[in-house]
Amino acid sequence: MKKKPSKIPHRVFLLLLAGIITYLALLINYSLTPVDGKKTRVAVDIPTGSSFLKITKILEEAGIVKSRILFYGLVSTRQALRSIRAGEYEFNTSMTPWAVVDKLLRGEIRTYRVTIPEDLSVKEIAARLKEYKLINEKQFFELAEDKEFLCSVGINAASVEGYLFPETYYFDRSMSTRQIMRIMVGQFWKKVTPAMLSRADELGFTVQEYVTLASIIGKESGNDAEKPLISAVFHNRLKRKMRLQSDPTAVYDLENFDGAVKRSHLKRNSPYNTYVISGLPPGPIGNPGLDSLQAALYPAGINYLYFVSQGDGSHFFSSSLERHNQASIRYWESKNKK
């Protein structure tokens, strides 16, 4: 007597097929249904080197992924498990999971427009970048004085001070602290041409001395038209072995400076204080812009040795100490009247 063929395999097949159809239906419905209807904006940071499982967990904790299993399936269908770029993303909970994955695959990370004004110090630049959460502050200061790093970016000095070029940059949080610093120093070397370095050499300056002088010029005046005049004063003083007597140098290495230079500051025993030392300080006191870098190379052809503020952003220049003292008295008298 023949046995009837078993119907179990057929039933198993039907069950599997039903399960697959159900899962696909759920997946399609999930992929096209908004996360929720609240239209909430959510910022998500995906660290560099994150695995897909970690990324999914981050998105789930942020409220963007409601079902890790279905999200995993959706990403798998798009063959994107290893194609998600690190960085900061902005999502809206009105988006569908399909749109979320699409944004991740396109790598639409948030970019920050960061303007670094001329003449900020390394500390001030670090503070500005930290506001945008773009750097690891500790690593930033370590790299700023790391000989190997400085050598790798072409700086033959003890610090990166002076070489972080003031510019408007577009950074994102997928960038490392090292990468951001490389970009800023790279911009310096793009602006400072071989011809400029050759001119500095003709004047008898090393690159470090040249950048140091430019930084002092930049700190003394934000008026670009005056910078060649200020440069001339310092060049003339250096030639005559006179102290530069630049106020900004006297307060550069102060921990807490409130913005007002006092007489006591001018007497400080500091290697940067040009009221005490002769010649240039050991390094830049800020990060100069192109106008200051140009002015350091091409001082005006005048014999001025002094300048004093006129209280309106401009300066009074003179060749004699007598005229300088008279101008200084006028400045302090007008300041005391206010």
Beta pairing partners, 255: none
Rounded to the nearest angstrom, the gap between the alpha carbon of residue 137 and the centroid of all alpha carbons in its chain is: 11
Cβ contact 142:122 at 8 Å: no
Most trustworthy range by pLDDT among 9-23, 69-83, 199-213, 261-275: 199-213
C-alpha distances out from residue 120 to 116, 197, 289, Å = 8, 22, 10
The answer to which of 85-99, 222-236, 281-295, 317-331 has the lowest mean pLDDT is 317-331
Q: Give the pair of three-digit tokens for residue 161.
A: 């001070």
CB 318 within 8 A of CB 306: yes
Inform me whether the pLDDT recorded for 312 exceeds 90.
no
Mapped to the 3 state alphabet, what secondary structure does the chain carry?
Answer: CCCCCCCHHHHHHHHHHHHHHHHHHHHHHHHHCCCCCCCCEEEEEECCCCCHHHHHHHHHHCCCCCCHHHHHHHHHHCCCCCCCCCEEEEEECCCCHHHHHHHHHHCCCCEEEEECCCCCCHHHHHHHHHHCCCCCHHHHHHHHCCHHHHHHCCCCCCCCCCCCCCCEEEEECCCCHHHHHHHHHHHHHHHCCHHHHHHHHHCCCCHHHHHHHHHHHHHHCCCHHHHHHHHHHHHHHHHCCCCCCCHHHHHCCCCCCCCCCCHHHHCCCCCCCCCCCCCCCCCCCCCCCHHHHHHHHCCCCCCCCEEEECCCCCEEEECCHHHHHHHHHHHHHHHHHC
Kindly report the CA angle at 52 between 47 and 56, in degrees rounded to 5?
85
pLDDT of 48 over the 70 cut: yes
Q: Which two tokens stand for residue 18?
A: 């039903």
Question: Looking at the whole model, is its pTM more than 0.85?
Answer: no
- What whole-number distance in Å separates Cα of residue 224 and Cα of residue 295? 9
Tens-place pLDDT, residues 207-226: 999 999 999 999 999 899 99
Q: Tell me the domains of the chain and their CATH numbers.
A: 37-109 (3.30.1490.480), 111-191 (no CATH), 203-304 (no CATH)
At 122-169, the pLDDT tens digits run: 999 999 999 999 999 999 999 999 999 999 999 999 999 999 999 999
Task: Round to whole Å and give the CA distance between 42 and 65.
Answer: 12
Count of CB atoms within 10 A of residue 190's CB? 10
* pLDDT > 90 fraction of the chain, expressed in percent and rounded: 64
Cα 298 from chain centre: 29
Q: Are 272 and 282 in contact (CB under 8 A)?
A: yes
Residue 130 phi/psi, 5-degree rounding, is -65, -35
C-beta pairs of 310-317 under 8 Å, 24+ apart in sequence = 311/335, 313/221, 313/222, 313/223, 314/223, 314/226, 315/221, 315/223, 315/226, 315/229, 315/230, 317/229, 317/233
Section 281-287 average pLDDT: 98
What is the C-alpha separation between 124 and 129, in angstroms, rounded? 9
Q: Classify burial at 149, counting beta carbons within 10 Å of its beta carbon; exposed 0-12, middle 13-18, buried 19 or more.
A: middle
Residue 246 has pLDDT above 90, yes or no: yes
Length of the chain equals 338
Q: In this predicted structure, which of 28-32, 80-84, 263-267, 334-338 has the lowest mean pLDDT?
A: 334-338
Please give the average per-residue pLDDT across 19-24, as a whole number.
Answer: 72
Q: pLDDT-derived band of residue 311, with 50, 70 and 90 as boundaries?
A: confident
Which of 99, 32, 26, 88 lies closest to 62, judged by CA?
Answer: 88
At 7 the pLDDT is: 55
Of 104-108, 191-195, 231-235, 299-303, the one with minimum mean pLDDT is 104-108
pLDDT-derived band of residue 227, with 50, 70 and 90 as boundaries?
Answer: very high
Task: Report, as an integer, the average pLDDT of 13-24.
Answer: 72
Lowest mean pLDDT among 76-80, 202-206, 302-306: 76-80
Q: What are 309's strand-pairing partners? A: 315
